[in-house]
Amino acid sequence: MPTMFLCKSEILPLLDMKEVIPAVENAFRQWALGKAQMPPKSYLTVDKGDFRAMPASLPGAAGMKWVNVHPANPSRNLPTVMAVIIYSDPETGYPLAVMDGTDITAYRTGAASAVASKYLARKDASTLGLVGAGRQAHTQLMAHAALYDLKLVKVYDLSEASTSRLIKAFPQYRIEAHTLPEVMDSDIVCTVTPAHSPVVRKEWVKPGVHINAVGADAHGKEELDPEILNEAVIFVDDMRQASTSGEVNVPLDKGLLDPNRIRGSLGDVVAGTKKGRTNDREITVFDSTGLAIEDIACAHMIYEKVKRNSEFTRLNFVEA
Ligand SMILES: NC(=O)c1ccc[n+]([C@@H]2O[C@H](COP(=O)([O-])OP(=O)(O)OC[C@H]3O[C@@H](n4cnc5c(N)ncnc54)[C@H](O)[C@@H]3O)[C@@H](O)[C@H]2O)c1
């Protein structure tokens, strides 16, 4: 049973957002029901960015993602985020596959937001706002388009090049460049910037909006004015990760956020143990830090698709 190697160009055609969304949704459910394991992410900070080691297991699947965030990479023609996943047999520990995790990261991050929107946004949501138009914004759009009939997508990015790349990449949707306050006037908003201070102001936020706060995934990062969080009902992907590295980490540290605004985790809502949105005027926020269970759920899905396919490279890593 040699180890399978799947590179980026092989992974991308195997990713279908319509399959990734239920896989990620199921991972949230398993985690909330105590059927998954996920030790805290371990961070390694270097001069130009950071690395994270992210292990997890789900029923029948185990593995670890090794991922970086280097914000200056686009100027070197490299993605900000790149990842490798080691996928192992939980029964024996055998390394079944080593796969590129860069696109898996982007797809599962988009899927996690779409799952949050499915449970937390207003049922009549039809417009999407994107704050930030980089790599993750593309999959936020793809994931929402897989679940919603989007009438309009409004986008704002500091970089005009990022905005026009996003608009050109999806000619099938009505996407318009807007000012930040205009983007916030959408039913669902995804914030996907690497900001370390609030980008979105309280006065731009409308009652009834659902915000997927995705960009803050390390200590010191934040995208939303803490006053937004203090008026919202907040759901985290994982409390331990969110309080140290998610959207709520800075305001919690500074004593600017009432911890009672955090109603529970998305998994609780998916598993039906916590109520999500309770009325159409509530502001809901999903604090996404990115969970290893999301990656391992996708790695499992991909491995199951290709395990009998002899076209892919295999190496006898472990001598029998
Ligand atoms: N929560 C998660 O699971 C998860 C997963 C992957 C990445 N991330 C985070 O998402 C963020 C974006 O990642 P990416 O891969 O899309 O990066 P990227 O470099 O491809 O894109 C970031 C975009 O944000 C824009 N931007 C920067 N500051 C801005 C501001 N103040 N207002 C508007 N736009 C601004 C940049 O111009 C760029 O186009 C990073 O912080 C990354 O760490 C989170």
pLDDT of residue 80: 86
Query: Stretch 282-306: mean pLDDT, rounded?
Result: 98
What residue's CA is closest to ligand 1, atom 42? Answer: 215
Residue 37 scores a pLDDT above 80: yes
pLDDT of residue 133: 98
The 10s digit of each residue's pLDDT in 48-89 is 999 999 999 999 999 999 999 898 998 999 988 899 999 999
Model confidence at 1, pLDDT cuts 50, 70, 90, reads confident
What residue's CA is closest to ligand 1, atom 41? Answer: 194
- What top-level class would CATH report for the domain 107-291? alpha beta
pLDDT of residue 65: 98
Task: Out of 105, 107, 140, 158, give the residue to mutate to test ligand 1, the one with the largest number of ligand atoms within 8 Å of its CB.
Answer: 158
Task: Out of 102, 136, 163, give the residue to mutate to test ligand 1, the one with the largest number of ligand atoms within 8 Å of its CB.
Answer: 136
Ligand 1 atom with least separation from CA of 246: 1
The 10s digit of each residue's pLDDT in 235-271 is 999 999 999 999 999 999 999 999 999 999 999 999 9
pLDDT of residue 17: 98
Residue 166 and residue 130 in contact, taking contact as beta carbons nearer than 8 Å: yes
The 10s digit of each residue's pLDDT in 169-222 is 999 999 999 999 999 999 999 999 999 999 999 999 999 999 999 999 999 999
Look at the domain 3-104+293-315 and name its fold: ornithine cyclodeaminase, domain 1 (3.30.1780)
So where are the chain's domains?
A: 3-104+293-315, 107-291
pLDDT of residue 280: 97
Q: How many whole angstroms from 132 Cα to the centroid of ligand 1?
A: 6
Residue 297 scores a pLDDT above 90: yes
Could you confirm whether 65 is annotated as catalytic? yes
Q: Which residues line ligand 1 (CB under 6 A)?
A: 69, 74, 80-81, 105, 109, 131-137, 156-159, 162, 192-195, 199, 214-215, 217, 288-290
Predicted structure pTM score: 0.96
What residue's CA is closest to ligand 1, atom 17? Answer: 134
Catalytic residue among 41, 48, 65, 305: 65
Q: How many whole angstroms from 54 Cα to the centroid of ligand 1?
A: 20
